[in-house]
Amino acid sequence: MRLPLPFLFWKLALPALLVVVLYGWVERRQVWLVLIVGVLWRWMVLWREHRRPVMKEADWLHLREGLIQVELARLEGEPETRGAPPQEQRDRAVQNADHEMTGLRLQYRPPREGVMLLAEALALPVFVIGLPVLMLMIASDFFTFRRRFGWEDMMVILGCAVLFSLPHLRFFRQLPSLVAKVWWLAPAFMVPLAILDLVRDKHPYWNPFHPEQRRLAAEKVLSLQDWVLAAAHADWVFRHAEDLAARGRTEDARKLGERAMQMAPGSPRGRHLQVRLGNVEPAAAPGMEIDAHAPYLADGTRIPRAERCRFETAHGLRPECVTLLLPVGEVPDLDLDFVAEVLRKETGMPTKVYEKSLPLPAPTRTLGLLQAKQWDLESIVKTALPEMNGRRVRGPFKILVITSADMYRESANYIFAVGYEWGGVVSRARFTWGDNPWLTRHRLAKQCYSMIIKSFGIMPSADTRCVTSYPDGLQAFDAKGNRPLPDVRRQFLESLARLNRSAAGQVR
């Protein structure tokens, strides 16, 4: 039985949808690659259809005669019909051949006219690639092929595949062929023009003929508020920095390279650029490398219980800045005590735990049948903010919302943490990988330490030996240093001292 939709929909779109159902996402590059392969395959099918000769009546008669001869040979070899009269054998062979010919004539579809095949060939990449790109460009302020596809994206692609497939349905085939030609050819001309218009007005950094294309791309990445998305495109900034270096603008290239290194400190391309510009990584001070990767607490160390308090009682008699850990969801007390002890020792700031744990809001999505539930970052922030606002306190706070929720945001399938001026939100969900409770606590404390430093306005370090450097995954997170570099620590302590002096002056 012939499928009512063409190869592309059944063989490519549905498996991709299955991946999304199971895992909640699929790599966008893989989807584009599969779609391109599907387009090429369909073009081959259309070419074969174009080259296939039309079956004329003489061809059918010749085929019928061949089938009769095959049936006669078969009947002569069967014991039941071997001794039958020749005319009876031929009549039976003709009957069998005619029955088979009836089925072949019903299944046979003559090749369509060349104009129709050309219309489908032109429309295919436009519907399954161009139209989704157009819709994503309209919906996004920053268009990229590097994001992962989720449910919404896959629904767009499936919808476009269905629109392309409509002329293959029986209803459409009963209409004049002009309808199908217009259905396919109109978007084939309109969609590329619309994409070009969007590239010109909204996404000029995608215009390869723009004389400042690389500069526009770098500026767009640097303007992104989403650090995860910006870090995934740090190579665009490196590319512009390399252009500046080639033009002799070494100082501008160095500054731009340093900003890109903050996004992707482990980038080999960035390291090569730094060496090329003479920005050699500073040598480690004696003992610095050992100290940077030394554990906060030895495995098995007894962890004292951190003080539990309310916002109003956290400062006591001294109006100095206090770090308050605010749990949301089921966060083990031992994890909170571990983080509090590490932050107290490393930052010198009083670190306490809020007196109660806030309940998690309802999950905002289920990533897939094989994945757990997830929470949008904003839902966690909205849960914590009412508890933080409107309190009468004696001094400044840095609040770390520590949650058991597996968080995500639009540009990232999952996130470790997000920083704010008041502190940050840290998820322990991904840190539990490895089935080692002590390692989980170490990772959690490491992330909290980094968030506290950056909450004072200190930018992430471009050096992976620093705890504030940006990792692109759990492996890079474990590999980076556990403590700030000396210069970063100096900036942090100076900022903390200024905040404490300001708080003391207000009290007096």
Instruction: Please check the confidence at residue 16 and state whether its pLDDT lies above 60.
Output: no
**What pLDDT was estimated at residue 138?**
92
- Domain boundary assignment for the chain: 7-52+112-204, 57-107, 211-276, 308-507
477-504: burial string, b at 16+ Cβ within 10 Å, e else: bbebbbbbbeebbebbeebbeebbeebe
Confidence of residue 466 (pLDDT cuts 50, 70, 90): very high
User: What confidence tens digit (pLDDT) does each residue in 369-402 have?
Assistant: 555 688 989 999 999 988 888 777 778 889 999 9
**What pLDDT was estimated at residue 2?**
45
Least confident of 171-180, 245-254, 448-457: 171-180
Which is more confident, 275 or 130? 130
User: What confidence tens digit (pLDDT) does each residue in 264-298 have?
Assistant: 887 788 878 877 777 655 544 544 554 778 889 88
Least confident of 187-196, 312-321, 417-426: 312-321
Name the 3-class secondary structure at 347: helix
User: What confidence tens digit (pLDDT) does each residue in 29-64 have?
Assistant: 777 787 888 889 889 989 988 888 878 888 778 888
**What pLDDT was estimated at residue 121?**
92
Is the CB of residue 32 less than 8 Å from the CB of residue 129? yes
Q: What is the DSSP letter of 409?
A: B
Is the CB of residue 274 less than 8 Å from the CB of residue 281? yes
Q: Which CATH class is domain 308-507?
A: alpha beta
User: What tokens appear for 249 in the block?
Assistant: 């603008």
Name the 3-class secondary structure at 168: helix
Rounded Cα distance, 334 and 298, in Å = 15
Is the CB of residue 410 less than 8 Å from the CB of residue 224? no
Confidence of residue 13 (pLDDT cuts 50, 70, 90): low
